[in-house]
Chain A
Amino acid sequence: MRVTVKMFAAARDAVGPSVDVEVPDEATIASLRGQLMTDYPQLADLIRRAMFAIDATYANDDSVISSVSEVACIPPVSGG
């Protein structure tokens, strides 16, 4: 399935506000992370350190993505 991943901050500057990634059906965040690092090697370091969110809630590496999920890559945050 194709997953659209929202990107922010340095990741967005590098690849745009969102990217489409091809992953197996019922892929986990861990496999999405790996595919993103393969597709965008220039961002591998940041993606390795990033959190991910599904439907605007923090997910963990075991979380399963569905085709209707809103997925976001959350690089280390620096608000405040």
Chain B
Amino acid sequence: MIQLTHSPIDADLMVRSAQSPAAGAVLLFLGCTRQHTAGRETTELVYDAYEEMAAKELATLEATARERWGLVECLIVHRLGVVPLGEASVAIVVASPHRKAAFEAGEWLIDTLKESVPIWKQEHWADGSSEWVHPTK
């Protein structure tokens, strides 16, 4: 299941829906708005997406992870719009029979999402300025 939403993410619901008798391991990753980045203070993040393509890319990530790690369940939700401090902009839940596959799949999913899914964050700094983040790698 993948979803782009403008509402707060209900991670508890995601975890509950991933639990099943086949899943010996259920892993949750939350990416949250951090207050300090390289010594600067953030007040909030704003996320924008090329929604049609982002949904397609997320679905491809889900299908790839399910196949590569034999997952029982895989859920990816990314929030768009304003994400206040401490709240989650992205939640990934994976369930597998054993924990190793869940840890590996979870790490691969967030790493690959950050590299390839057309979603952008805008930092809103405490000094009132803001900027889109376009990493140079």
Contact = CB atoms under 8 A, between A and B. Distances in A.
A65 B81 CA distance: 31
A69 to B, nearest CB: 13
Interface residues of B, number: 30
A77 B48 contact: no
A17 to B, nearest CB: 11
Given A9-B48, A9-B120, A9-B134, A80 B53 contact: no
A13 interface: yes
Interface string A1-17: 00000101110110000
Range, interface on chain A:
20 to 34
A12 B120 CA distance: 12
B136 interface: yes
A9 B122 contact: yes
Given A56-B53, A57-B53, A72-B50, A77 B122 contact: no
Interface stretch (B6-14, B16-24, B63-71, B108-116): B108-116
Contacts of A9: 48, 120, 122, 132, 134
Interface of A: 6, 8-10, 12-13, 46, 49, 53, 56-58, 72, 74-80
Closest 7 CB pairs of A and B: A79-B119, A9-B120, A78-B133, A56-B53, A10-B132, A80-B114, A9-B132
Interface of B: 31, 47-50, 52-54, 56, 78, 89-90, 110, 113-122, 131-137
